[in-house]
Amino acid sequence: MLFSLASRRAAGFTVNRAVTAATRAYGGSSIHFAKEGQAEVILVGCGAPNRGMGWYHAVQMLEDKCPSASLDYIVEPWFMGAGGDSPAGQDFKAWQDETEAKYGTKFTASLEELPPPEAPRLALISGRTADNPRLLSESIAHGAKCIYLEKPGAPTVAELEAMKNEADAASVEVLMGYNKNVCKYVRKTREFAETVPGSHVTFVSNNAYENTPESLGECFERNAEGMLKNMAIHELALLVSFYDVSVDNIAEVVADKEFSSMQTLKGPSGKEYTDFDKIKFTIKTKTGNEVSVQADRCGGSDSYATVTDKSGEEVFRYYMPDEEDKVHVKELQAKYPTAMPYFFTQDPDYITVKERVAKHTVDGQPAEGIATIQIAIDTLKVAEYLTPILQEQLK
């Protein structure tokens, strides 16, 4: 349900201006306060500094890259709980201390510790995929009026559909962190393809993991939902959003066996995981569309898209980052030398999605180009449908 700022305040979000414009007292300390026109953001699931997507979301908001978002609370159950004594937990504690001192942001181990909202509350959920159903329920129970849910949203379609039903019943809107839906390279590629009769588009996504059993095993375990529900889910969302791809509309899917690779590797726990370390496939739909996806865990740090003509000759390629954005990427690499490289190539798009969702939380206007939870459900259905088919083709 779309609330205006005025109606939300009438529903109990009245700001007490007796408190200073930028801070409020909570738990004996003064913390950042959402100002006029800002959503009160709770980051749920921060992850490790320099590695967790939640951490990078936090950095962008703390540095005021999203004008409509005020990061008031960070909820981190693992590193403020059982994982606190690990090396990554120690890194998190050091970053927590620095962030509390510099910005006054309040850290908690549980949403139960949060006070009632004093401005339109946006919960940005960036935890482990398996935890998302519970975290969404808790966010709704603790006053979130809008939820930004990181991909893929839930481990299964059934869970994601149940989450949508719960949010609908509470009149809470759920929008998804499918940032590639708003990327420059996607827009330019689609625009160019429309000028080429019989064109074929391929979306390419790369990560920069080391091509070793140890590195890929850690990746497989940390992203146990699998590549199509994790790394390549962004590309599947593009297919669902722009190419009319759905389980019911898929006529054929063919894996590129020469490019693709599937491995069974041990993760840090010793448990074995089977997943694609790289995959390429082409989908044909019953309505006549044809589009390809290529994803490589060890392919580098860029993403790009290509357009080929009827003869199969490549006539267009656009990279993310492009030449203009590479300057910005180098600046971020110098600032955060140990962070995941893909954070920097997608930095402007992460900002765009968060800003549009935060602004929507405040003023109720449509969040242009942002995927809904229904798009996420349809995308996850496609991922679940494709995974066994592609696995069988690669045996």
pLDDT average, residue stretch 65-76: 98
Establish whether the linkage from the previous residue to 152 is cis, with ω within 30° of 0: yes
Is the pLDDT at 372 greater than 60? The verdict is yes
* Banded pLDDT at 323 (limits 50, 70, 90): confident
Residue 64 neighbours by CB under 8 Å, 6+ apart:
none
Q: Give me the pLDDT at residue 33, please.
A: 84
Q: What is the pLDDT of residues 72-104, one digit of tens each?
A: 999 999 999 999 999 999 999 999 999 999 999
How high is the pLDDT of residue 76? 98
Mean pLDDT, residues 186-205 taken together: 97
pLDDT tens per residue, range 218-249:
999 999 999 999 999 999 999 999 999 999 99
Confidence bin at 197 (pLDDT 50/70/90): very high
Q: Which residues contact 332 (CB under 8 A, 6 or more apart)?
A: 339, 343, 344, 347
Name the phi and psi angles at 279, rounded to 5. Answer: -150, 140
15 pLDDT tier (thresholds 50, 70, 90): very low
CA triple 61-134-354, angle to 5 deg: 20
**Residue 125, SS3 per DSSP:** strand
pLDDT digits (tens, 9 = 90+) for 16-34: 322 333 344 444 344 558 9
**Rounded mean pLDDT, 246-275:** 98
DSSP string, 51-87: T-HHHHHHHHHHTT-STTEEEEEEE-TTTTTTTTTSH
Residue 180 DSSP one-character state: G
**pLDDT at residue 366, rounded to an integer:** 95
pLDDT of residue 27: 45
pLDDT interval class at 187 (50, 70, 90): very high
Exposed/middle/buried for 64, CB within 10 Å: 0-12, 13-18, 19+? exposed
- What average pLDDT does the chain have? 91
Contact 238, 190 (CB under 8 A): no
pLDDT beyond 90 at 124: yes
What pLDDT was estimated at residue 107?
A: 98
- Residues 291, 239 contacting (CB under 8 angstroms): yes
pLDDT in tens, 284-297: 999 999 999 999 99
What's the half-sphere exposure (Cβ side, CA atoms, 13 Å) at 342? 20
User: Strand locations in the chain, DSSP E?
Assistant: 23-26, 29-32, 39-44, 69-75, 106-108, 121-125, 146-149, 173-176, 200-206, 250-255, 261-266, 272-285, 290-296, 303-308, 314-320
